[in-house]
Amino acid sequence: MTPKTRVLLGVTGGIAAYKSPDLVRRLMERGADVQVVMTSAAQRFVSPMTFQAVSGRPTRSDLWDGTAEAAMGHIELARWAEIVLIAPASADFIARLAGGRADDLLCTLCVATEAPIMLAPAMNRIMWANKATQANVDTLIGRGIRILGPASGNQACGEVGAGRMWEPAQLAETLLAPPVNAGLLAGLNVLITAGPTRERLDPVRYLTNRSSGKMGFAVAEAAREAGAHVTVVSGPVQLQTPTGVTRINVESARDMYAAVHRQVGDADIFIAAAAVADFQPVKVAKQKIKKQGGSVQLELEPAPDIIKSVADMAKRPFVVGFAAETNDVEDNARIKLKRKKLDMIAANEVGDGIAFDCEDNTLTVIWPGGKMDVPRGPKVEVARALIALIAKRLPPPDGSPRRGARKRRTAAALPRDRVRGRRPRRV
Ligand code: C5P
């Protein structure tokens, strides 16, 4: 019999706590042994007895409970856990964890454990968007804590937006699935472009393309999962920013070029997934262009080639391009790899119903001297495969003329596990 994964499930005070007993069952169905620890606020929503009944273990909540401590002290409990999951994680708990507090049992366990910690935030959408909450989440991500969700949708308070706890089934699956690319890009800075650009013709019209930005955002999510600090420079898209990713919104190719060059000095890896316009109007009309009965001539000039400008930098990051092609995908991609002096290119076929605005994608990844096909799958899975390939192809940290920030990081600034040469603890 395979040993059970020991999950310490922390439940904090929020209405989503009513789903946590179901989460216990889902985790147990997937072979976990679950010990529930509740905060005092959580007990106002669900009774400790409910969790005891479903988990088969006495629910813990009090740091000062002599009997429970005698059975398994809090340090022992912190060591017992192989994974710590806090679901729901309230805004208050997130703030307390970010502050390193150890004034109740659950906070103390989080400070005392060496197990990976994951949080499933659940709160009102405005509380989630609040700058203090977001800063706390950033702090926690920087410490290697993984944030699962939140999802968007109807909220218990009657509002609609981001702040719903992930469903128990999704949490259980994510938690107990094997780690993906954990720590592969730990501590590196990754800059990504995503989405289309809009080139204005007049105050009401623009030229654009069908890019949804989904692939670029999936790459951002996958890079974040791999432990990188990720910034996305995004054209106009209707997508939620992945948790822990910094987003800079731009409109035109010119704006995107400027935003990229403001950030790229610190980047270790630059991934250009945006469908940047190749041409921009020479002049933007100040007033709406009027119909005059006949045809209209638009004068277009080449838009700045962002990726090429980055690849031409003397101290450049590792540069990865995308090539969306309607025909001769691989040949065209190889030409671009060479012409734009890229380190790697991810090529895919586009056209009606393929790749653009779809949930799935397939890639042929090419680099000087090598190639790999990534089979069709959800964009985030394809993105994970691409990130794994990038990590493999990155030059070693020392002696590389390419890396800026990476070389500048001292051993003290690197995650502990990286310095020791072990895989970081992230799951
Ligand atoms: O030349 P083409 O547009 O096909 O090249 C695709 C690659 O170049 C993509 O990685 C795209 O993001 C990038 N690109 C760019 N700036 C442009 C045009 C394309 O960064 N103006």
pLDDT digit string, tens, across residues 229-264: 999 999 999 998 887 899 999 999 999 999 999 999
Segment 160-166 shows an average pLDDT of 90
Q: Confidence band (pLDDT; 50, 70, 90) for 162?
A: confident
* Ligand 1 site, residue 274, Cβ cutoff 6 A: yes
Q: Do 238 and 376 reside in the same domain of the chain? A: yes
pLDDT at 419 over 50: no
* Ligand 1 site, residue 233, Cβ cutoff 6 A: no
- What's the CATH number where 387 sits? 3.40.50.10300
Q: Do 241 and 158 reside in the same domain of the chain? A: no
Taking the alpha carbons at both ends of the chain, their separation in whole angstroms is 23
Under 8 Å CB-to-CB from 181, ≥6 apart: which residues? 222, 225, 226, 384, 387, 388, 391
Q: 107, 110, 157, 358: which one is catalytic?
A: 157
Domain endpoint, select from 119, 143, 176 = 176
Q: pLDDT tens digit string along 337-389?
A: 999 999 999 998 887 666 566 778 899 999 999 999 998 888 999 999 999 99
Q: pLDDT tens digit string along 70-84?
A: 888 899 999 999 999
The answer to the question of residue 367 being in a domain is yes
Mean pLDDT of the chain: 89
The residue type found at 34 is: V
Reported for 63-70, long-range contacts at CB under 8 A and 24+ positions apart, including other chains, are 63/104, 63/105, 63/108
Domain endpoint, select from 176, 197, 223 = 176
Q: Confidence band (pLDDT; 50, 70, 90) for 36?
A: very high
Q: Which is more confident, 175 or 142?
A: 175
Domain count, the chain: 2
Q: Do 156 and 197 reside in the same domain of the chain? A: no
pLDDT at 110 over 60: yes
* Contact in structure between 406 and 397 (CB atoms under 8 Å): yes
Q: Do 196 and 308 reside in the same domain of the chain? A: yes
The answer to the question of residue 59 being in a domain is yes
Other CB atoms within 10 Å distance of the CB of residue 60: 25
pLDDT at res. 176: 87
157 is known as an active-site residue: yes
Looking from the CA of 75 toward its CB, the CA atoms found within 13 Å total 0
- What's the CATH number where 154 sits? 3.40.50.1950
Q: pLDDT tens digit string along 165-189?
A: 999 999 999 888 776 898 899 889 9
Domain endpoint, select from 155, 176, 197 = 176
Separation between Cα atoms, residue 342 and residue 312, nearest integer Å: 10
Structural domain including 105 reads: 5-176
pLDDT at 114 over 60: yes
pLDDT at res. 182: 83
pTM for this entry: 0.68
The answer to the question of residue 181 being in a domain is no
* Ligand 1 site, residue 305, Cβ cutoff 6 A: yes
Separation between Cα atoms, residue 246 and residue 236, nearest integer Å: 15
Out of 207, 256, 276, give the residue to mutate to test ligand 1, the one with the largest number of ligand atoms within 8 Å of its CB. 276
pLDDT at 400 over 70: no
The Cα angle at residue 292 between residues 290 and 298, in degrees rounded to 5:
70
